[in-house]
Amino acid sequence: MTRSASEHAKNRETEFVEQLKDLLRIPSISTLTTHKSYIERAAEWLRDHCLAIGMTRAEIYPTPGHPIVYAEWLGAGKAAPTLLVYGHYDVQPVDGVWNQEDPFEPVERGGNLYARGATDDKGQLFVHLKAFDAIMKATGSFPMNFKVMFEGEEEIASVHLNAFIEKHLDMLTADVVVISDNHIQGIDDPSIIYGLRGLTYMEIEVTGPDHDLHSGAYGGAVHNPALALVQILHRMHDEQGHILVPGFYDEVVPLTDEERKALSAVPFTEAMLKAQTGADKLWGEPEFTARERIGARPTLEINGIWGGWTGEGQKTIIPAKATAKVSCRLVANQNPKRIYELVKAYVARITPDTVRSEVRLLSTGDSALVPLDSEAMQVAVEAYEAVFGKKPTFMREGGSIPVVATYNRLMKAPVVMMGFGLPDDNLHAPNEKITLKMFHRGIQTMIHFYQNLPKHFGK
Amino acid sequence: MTRSASEHAKNRETEFVEQLKDLLRIPSISTLTTHKSYIERAAEWLRDHCLAIGMTRAEIYPTPGHPIVYAEWLGAGKAAPTLLVYGHYDVQPVDGVWNQEDPFEPVERGGNLYARGATDDKGQLFVHLKAFDAIMKATGSFPMNFKVMFEGEEEIASVHLNAFIEKHLDMLTADVVVISDNHIQGIDDPSIIYGLRGLTYMEIEVTGPDHDLHSGAYGGAVHNPALALVQILHRMHDEQGHILVPGFYDEVVPLTDEERKALSAVPFTEAMLKAQTGADKLWGEPEFTARERIGARPTLEINGIWGGWTGEGQKTIIPAKATAKVSCRLVANQNPKRIYELVKAYVARITPDTVRSEVRLLSTGDSALVPLDSEAMQVAVEAYEAVFGKKPTFMREGGSIPVVATYNRLMKAPVVMMGFGLPDDNLHAPNEKITLKMFHRGIQTMIHFYQNLPKHFGK
């Protein structure tokens, strides 16, 4: 049976790519209000496609923001396990210089398909629909109950997703959740992410004088808020990169020896990191490897800073205020709101009495750690190995997918993150692409996964 | 004779104010290319007015930027001393909210005349022309040779003034230079500025990765340039406000006991400074008073800082670079170019090897200290005392008027800064004004000064 669905998919590769191109042609940029109609068109396209490939129900659920597409095929019966696929059909804007005239007119070149959304996340969510399509067409049925939920607000912080999940918990209920919205280490180096960092995003503002002052008339007598901000931010790290906010590390779950070993097996070198970033030299807590620091250690980053005169030339002022955007990437079991409270208290304590400071919370997202020993994880490992010819390594990812924590919390179903992107896919950047070999390998991997998962469930 | 010119001026007060209004009606904003014709009209107005009040030569000298007006009356003969008045007819733009419809349609209210340029510097340069006018009309002659030079680029860093002075040194030669482009301490508290700070204006840029990075994917492994900039800027000061750049203070001429005494006599309190700035508490080198710090101590200020995401909401990036505008106010005998070299070397030394930094010089201006014991200074003291009924205090001013250093260097003539503005004149701000009592007292003071100065010169 596996062979049959797999061969069916291989025979239809060209057709699948053409279908993906249709989806990529819809400029569903979620952050631009001018693109609202495209968001709706992409949702309709997905609803129609789900029905076309044999799912029995497909609906568009409006939210106060962009709609959520939900579709299902429940023909496996109550005894069979149920699987939920999460993906998002919204994309990033297209600023920057592309090698093609229109980032929404997909271009095939050198085995890659270039378009905004090719890997993030239209190409990856489509892998699941095509695996379902191939199995249904090849076998006339699907080995378990299948649900998909595609949101249109992932690129704008999934603002309405949690409320939707809480409201429709029964409808969404599943035994396993699969997300494909990330990358593996290399085209022949599969890897599975089991940890995601959480996030606490803040704004720190320092104010002093009630208006910008002439630096000649007052310089030397008044504390410059930009300097005071510098002094406050400086006290957030020691020179080696350890975070100095008291209590910051208290709830961090330490890496086990097993995890450190698994992470060290990831084909990930400092040279690769330097090439990807352009940095001359790496930086950070010396007692951890770079790979460990990115996935398993929390951070506190200045994402933005501004104050005073930032235009051409010169203006001799002492600015009335200076501000920084500061965010912490968090790991299990750090609580994002508690981290905010700790930073707020620390900033209040270290702010000199010559200025005033305020720490505002902009958003939070929970970190997530999924168990390595679930049945679904074992099946995922086998599926990658069968298709890529190599066992996947386990990674903790530096980024955040807050919905993973939501699933963990609300559904108690194991989440498996099975990515089919590559590190050089240029997501959120010009010339985003998906490597077609990865797209097809993804479909094969998911066919393997779907056809083997039910054997591991006693239901 | 003094009485006669003085009374003549008193009788013509209303006429003088109306004449000033005519000058204020010309929107000679030097920074706006759209206002070039008004700059020219203001220069022509001044040239014509100089001839109308009896000067024998008045010319407009073009520069690569805005023109300079030069006029003279040399009827006192070669034995008499020669005086040069400097002023500027260009004004600042008019952004912000004014209480009048048109900042170039002067409004008299509560004894003040409100208009852009009222105090900076049209009102103050006009004081000299009216003192000359009154003496000429009242006595038929002037007690010394009189030269005026009015530039149109003071608000845009006097870019072409030094070259003009060097080229026309013979024409401009004088025994005393008088500048009125500043304020005294209070309407009944005359003061004379004898020190001006110099300036070194720089931009410090820190770069790391070759593009903005996803803070999830790379946070913790790469040195954030905004953090590195914070770490560099932090090392510029100790917590008390002393500057830590090695060699920075080496050439500072220490305050003498006499100077400290003179400065402490200035009616200038911390409460006044707090009220003017809105700062809750003062700041700076504790071994100096605020008045000393502003006038007699050098500073290093962050005038602007920026990097990364500075818009609404959040963007989780590690910025590729971060930049600060940093300027030093300098005192005698600090050399602005040497200060740049010191800062540059220090930044190079303290920049961590995980990022790169660059210090760019944007501009420099020399500091100036004029002798307190020149004959001209004594006459200025007597003139203020005669009109204000109180001896002026001596102040070092925090700001910079680079032309003072140029005169000191090129002409060896003592410069006397006799200001007739007040601290609340809102220069460079909305609702700029000159207090009419100050305008008229200024004319009286200059009549006194002009009529008494020749007695002190042996020529």
- What would the 3-class secondary structure string for chain A be? CHHHHHHHHHHCHHHHHHHHHHHHCCCCECCCHHHHHHHHHHHHHHHHHHHHCCCCEEEEECCCCCCEEEEEECCCCCCCCEEEEEEECCECCCCCCCCCCCCCCCEEECCEEECCCCCCCHHHHHHHHHHHHHHHHHHCCCCCEEEEEEECCHHHCCCCHHHHHHHCHHHHCCCEEEECCCECCECCECEEEEEECEEEEEEEEEECCCCCEEHHHHECCECCHHHHHHHHHHCCECCCCCECCCCCCCCCCCCCHHHHHHHHCCCCCHHHHHHHHCCCCCCCCCCCCHHHHHHHCCEEEEEEEEEECCCCCCCCEECCEEEEEEEEEECCCCCHHHHHHHHHHHHHHHCCCCCEEEEEEEEEECCEECCCCCHHHHHHHHHHHHHHCCCCEEEEECCCCHHHHHHHHHHCCCEEECCCECCCCCCCCCCCEEEHHHHHHHHHHHHHHHHHHHHHCCC
Q: Which of A222, A231, A284 sits opposite B234 (nearest CB)?
A: A231
Question: In this prediction, what percent of chain A has a pLDDT beyond 70?
Answer: 99
Per the CB < 8 A criterion, the answer to whether B354 and B223 are in contact is yes
Task: Locate the chain B residue with the closest alpha carbon to A270.
Answer: B221
Domain limits, chain A: 2-196+367-456, 198-252+298-365
- Judging contacts by C-beta atoms under 8 Å, the chain A residues touching residue B354 are 279-283
pLDDT band at B412 (very low <50, low <70, confident <90, very high): confident
Question: Are B220 and A329 within 8 A, CB to CB?
Answer: yes
Does position A1 have pLDDT exceeding 60, yes or no?
no
pLDDT in tens, B20-37: 999 999 999 998 889 999
**Residues of chain A positioned with their CB less than 8 A from the CB of B201:** 314, 316
**CB contact at 8 A, B440 and B446:** no
Domain A198-252+298-365: assigned CATH number: 3.30.70.360
Can you tell me whether residue B433 is helix, strand or coil?
strand
pLDDT higher than 60, residue A2:
no
Rounded Cα gap, residues B317 and A229, in angstroms: 19
User: What's the pLDDT score for residue A459?
Assistant: 46
- What phi and psi, each to the nearest 5 degrees, are found at residue B79? -75, -25
CATH 3.30.70.360 describes domain B198-259+284-365: yes
**Is A203 a catalytic site residue?**
no
- For the segment A375-399, the average pLDDT, to the nearest whole number, is 92
The encoded tokens of residue A19 equal 């279908």
- Evaluate if residue A313 carries a pLDDT over 80: no
Instruction: Find the mean pLDDT for residues A275-286.
Output: 92
DSSP B321: E
- Is B230 in contact with A278 (Cβ distance < 8 A)? no
Tell me the β-bridge partners of A373. none
Does pLDDT of B237 surpass 60? yes
Q: Higher confidence at residue A267 or residue A287?
A: A287
Residue B235 has pLDDT above 90, yes or no: yes
Q: What's the rounded mean pLDDT across residues B126-152? A: 97
Residue of B nearest to A218 (CA): B294
A90 is catalytic: yes
Percent of chain B with pLDDT over 70: 99
Please state, rounded to an integer, the average pLDDT across all residues of chain B: 93
Cβ neighbours of residue A292 under 8 Å, at least 6 residues apart? A255, A260, A263, A396
How many CB contacts within 8 angstroms connect chain A with chain B? 286
Is the pLDDT confidence value at A127 over 90?
yes
| A325 closest CB neighbour out of B281, B298, B314 | B314
Reported as a pLDDT band with limits 50, 70 and 90, residue A18 is: very high
- Top residue of A182, A227, A287, A331 to mutate, by most chain B CBs within 10 Å, is A227
Q: Chain A residues with CB inside 8 Å of B313's CB? A: 362
Task: Determine the pLDDT at residue B459.
Answer: 46
Give per-residue pLDDT as tens, B299-314: 999 999 999 988 877 7
A293 or A369, greater pLDDT = A293
Q: Least CA distance to A156: which residue of chain B?
A: B314
pLDDT digits over A322-334, tens only? 999 999 999 988 9
Selecting among A72, A133, A151, A154, the annotated active-site residue is: A154
Interval B48-69 mean pLDDT: 97
Q: Do B303 and A283 touch (CB under 8 A)?
A: no
| Residue of A33, A280, A297 best to disrupt the B interface, most CBs of B under 10 A | A280
Mean pLDDT is lowest, of A4-8, A141-145, B158-162, for: B158-162
Q: Which residue of A has its CA nearest to B327?
A: A316
Which residue out of B133, B151, B153, B154 is catalytically annotated? B154
H or E element at residue B176:
strand B176-179
Mutation for A interface: B244, B268, B283, most A CBs within 10 A: B283
CATH assignment of B2-196+367-456, among 1.10.540.10, 1.10.3720.10, 3.40.630.10, 3.40.50.2020: 3.40.630.10
Question: Other CB atoms closer than 10 Å to residue B24's CB: what's the count?
Answer: 26
Name the 3-class secondary structure at B104: coil
Inter-chain residue contact A221 with B294, CB threshold 8 Å: yes
Task: For residue A453, give both structure tokens.
Answer: 């998962």
CB nearest B314 (choices: A201, A218, A315):
A201
For chain B, the residue count is 459
Q: pLDDT tens-digit profile of B331-353?
A: 988 999 999 999 999 999 999 99
Q: Residue B200: which region, alpha, beta or left (left: phi > 0; alpha: psi -120 to 50)?
A: beta
Show residues of chain B in contact with A233, CB under 8 Å. 227, 230
Scanning the structure block, which residue is given the tokens 């094969």?
A: A444
State whether A307 and B302 contact (CB < 8 Å): yes
Q: To the nearest whole angstrom, how far is the Cα of A215 from the nearest Cα of chain B?
A: 7
Least confident window among A246-255, A293-302, B262-271, B437-446: B262-271
